[in-house]
């Protein structure tokens, strides 16, 4: 018997069964989630090698990874729920930081079109670290956290998964930040030595954050990450 969709959280929790025997459910925010599979057995097959993981250091209430699989391609939807991203300004520089969200299996990974629909905000407890209620900056999805305070994208790894996009807050929030796919198309990441990680990277303009400050912003939304395991 073939099931069109097998739904299962990356945490391993089956949420329920419908009348046809399919696993079904919703994420905490109400979005349908799951692993797309052509049969119940395929879920086990891709899980043994092809599914990545959310780092144990991340609070699991802030990142949910929901997997779909079809035709050899994985669609990993990373759902962010009040995910804190630490940002640090050195002297009078920009505030930058990144949080690792996911790690692919070790091996060569083809990175397909990936985009993010995000909201960024600053919790009340951290607002005093910023110079006004309208901070500006950029968000990108990359394979490394920022190595310096340069504009996101100066180092390719800042946003080599989904291109950095500007945000402008009003009352310490911007609810509509869309990071488009990288315009270079599909490329192969050599993760045979170090598995491909996925980082949410944030830069806050120097004029909008206090000097020599470590603070945090919050991210909510979804990252639609498409990838294929190409062997190790």
- Using CB atoms within 10 A of its CB, is residue 230 exposed (0-12), middle (13-18) or buried (19+)? middle
Model pLDDT, residue 50: 65
Least Cα distance to 205 among 104, 107, 122, 87 occurs for: 87
Q: How far apart are CA 141 and CA 224, in angstroms?
A: 11
pLDDT the model gives residue 49: 55
Torsion from C-alpha of 201, 204, 210, 211, nearest 10 degrees: 70
Q: Is residue 221 part of a domain?
A: yes
* Residue at 185 is within a domain: yes
* 16 assigned to some structural domain: no
Task: Examine residue 67 and state whether it is found in any structural domain, yes or no.
Answer: no
Question: Residue 42 burial by CB count (10 A; 0-12/13-18/19+): exposed, middle or buried?
Answer: middle
Per the domain annotation, does 162 fall within a domain? Answer: yes
User: CA–CA distance from 108 to each of 96, 126, 142, 166 (Å)?
Assistant: 29, 40, 16, 31
Number of domains in the chain: 1
From the list 139, 152, 128, 149, the residue with the least C-alpha distance to 215 is 128
Is residue 11 one of the residues assigned to a domain?
no
Instruction: Residue 2: name the closest of 47, 33, 43, 38 by CA.
Output: 38
Domain ranges, residue 91: 80-229
Give the helix/strand (H/E) hosting 219: strand 214-229
Dihedral pair phi/psi, residue 77, rounded to 5°? -100, 110
Span 51-106, pLDDT tens digits = 899 999 999 899 999 999 888 899 999 999 999 999 999 999 999 999 999 999 99
Taking 50 as the pLDDT cut, the residues of the chain under it are: 1-48
pTM, two decimals, is 0.81
d(CA 182, CA 142): 10
* Residue 5, in any domain of the structure: no
> Is residue 121, in this structure, part of any structural domain at all?
yes
């Amino acid at each position: 018997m073939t099931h069109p969709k097998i739904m299962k959280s990356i945490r391993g929790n089956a949420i329920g069964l419908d009348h046809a025997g399919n696993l079904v459910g919703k994420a905490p925010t109400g979005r349908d989630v799951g692993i797309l599979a052509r049969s119940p057995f395929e879920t086990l097959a891709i899980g043994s090698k092809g599914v990545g993981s959310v780092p144990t250091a991340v609070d699991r209430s802030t990142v949910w990874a929901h997997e779909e699989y079809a035709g050899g391609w994985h669609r990993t939807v990373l759902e962010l729920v009040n995910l804190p991203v630490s940002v640090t300004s050195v002297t009078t520089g920009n505030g930058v930081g990144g949080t690792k969200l996911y790690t692919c299996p070790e091996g060569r990974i083809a990175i397909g079109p990936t985009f993010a629909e995000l909201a960024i905000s600053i919790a009340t407890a951290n607002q005093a670290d910023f110079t006004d209620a309208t901070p500006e900056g950029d968000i990108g999805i990359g394979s490394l956290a920022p190595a310096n305070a340069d504009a996101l994208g100066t180092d390719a790894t800042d946003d080599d998964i989904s291109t950095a996009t500007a945000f402008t807050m009003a009352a310490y929030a911007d609810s509509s930040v869309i990071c488009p796919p990288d315009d270079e198309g599909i490329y192969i990441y050599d993760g045979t030595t170090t598995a491909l990680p996925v980082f949410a990277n944030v830069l806050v303009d120097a004029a909008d954050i206090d000097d020599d400050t470590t603070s945090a912003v919050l991210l909510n939304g979804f990252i639609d990450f498409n990838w294929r395991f190409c062997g190790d």
